[in-house]
Chains A and B, each alone.
Chain A
């Protein structure tokens, strides 16, 4: 467990750094994974937690944010796991599209509750091969801060998140378990999974169209 002092120092440094960073970084693209995640987190909260926008608009914004900030193909590969290899290129493309729609619906709903919250960067760790882990908090106006962890890949000057964990729960890992269970129940058929996904997307889009 982090000692409270380290935590205080961490939070203090983060506040100091963000105060220092904002004016200098005005209009400049993120140069570290930490900056990238801070931008992404704040943008997500600002764009999605507005109470005045419609549900459909919220899902649309989430879709855009996912496309811009996350590495869809890498996450899809992980979610399909061992079954990715068995999928045809056409199936992979369709999977990515359906998956992004489902994730947009899932997170748009969850973000509604984040009004008034802020994202606070704590620290980042790099493994030297272009992947960094960024630790932060979603601070709520009342109550405990929620720990958030991003895994970010860097390709040339572009950052893309490949994993997000909130309070220890990883979104892609949960989906991997959920989806592989469906594939197993369909005796390993990717087409079987896609059928279930099409049905789910149709159901979600019926109430809140995002396309």
Chain B
């Protein structure tokens, strides 16, 4: 039994090790972004972008786009076509409900007592009256869903995001959020419960859950992402900025922040690059 487990974990580790080696090679080949010399303004913009391994990230971004074009997007479209809205909503509700333990843990770790209570209430209401999460009863009675993850908790604790990082398949991230994601993979109570279930291939169940999660998410963003790709000049840079702004908003739980750069307040064009300090919050 023991040997069987160790064999499995070894073989499971192999693709991961290969993946890391491949990524390291790519970074070496693609190199780092060269800061613009002799141009203080361009240099300031470069620093604000906080993307020192941009060449690598762009390659990853293109790889992900290709995977999306040929696999994920067609699957998401087929999903939209094959399953009626009521069914998709039920699937979405189940996925959201399965994440409530992780959300609850992070509410607590962030000291958000009210929100922790809401999450607990949602979990109980939707799992029982909502028939295992199929129906979002909680939203109907005035407790809408909110999302939390370990990356957000680290941010609340004051841990810096680190540079921008595009992960294979997962997409836009950073070292802090990636660490959070890794913790969620091993600490998600639902996944732990699944792996303790007898007669169920845990890895299989967790994989199915992740795949359905991906398809559900993609199917909800098809129009918006198409529109951004069509109208942006540099799709990569637009997504980088959108992702950071969304993350900041999630970390602040939707509260308006005091300083974000905008045409009204910051950086008059003549104030020079130093006028842009407000932008560091992005």
Contact = CB atoms under 8 A, between A and B. Distances in A.
B269 A185 contact: no
B128 interface: no
Nearest to A177: B241
Contact of B241 (A1, A83, A174): A174
Interface string B233-277: 110111011100110111011111000111111111110110010
B246 to A, nearest CB: 6
Given A80-B269, A184-B45, A168 B254 contact: yes
Nearest to A152: B264
Given A75-B263, A82-B44, A170-B262, A177 B256 contact: no
B198 to A, nearest CB: 39
B232 interface: yes
Nearest to A77: B269
A105 interface: yes
A1 B231 contact: no
Contacts of B232: 178
Interface string A59-75: 00000000000010011
B256 A149 contact: yes
B14 interface: no
A153 B264 contact: yes
B28 to A, nearest CB: 22
Interface size class of A (residues with CB under 8 A): 35 or more
A77 B263 contact: yes
Interface string A179-211: 111101100100001001100100010000000
Contacts of B120: none
A91 interface: no
Interface string A134-148: 010000000010010
Contacts of B139: 144
B251 to A, nearest CB: 10
Given A84-B269, A170-B245, A177 B262 contact: no
B264 A131 contact: yes
Interface stretch (B35-43, B73-81, B184-192, B206-214): B35-43
B46 A184 contact: yes
11 contacts: A1-B112, A1-B115, A1-B254, A82-B272, A168-B246, A168-B248, A170-B245, A176-B241, A178-B241, A180-B45, A193-B233
Given A77-B269, A167-B254, 10 more contacts: A1-B254, A81-B267, A83-B41, A144-B144, A153-B264, A174-B242, A174-B245, A178-B233, A180-B237, A184-B45
Q: Closest 10 A-B residue pairs measured CB to CB?
A: A168-B249, A181-B237, A177-B241, A78-B263, A84-B269, A163-B262, A162-B263, A106-B231, A82-B41, A178-B238
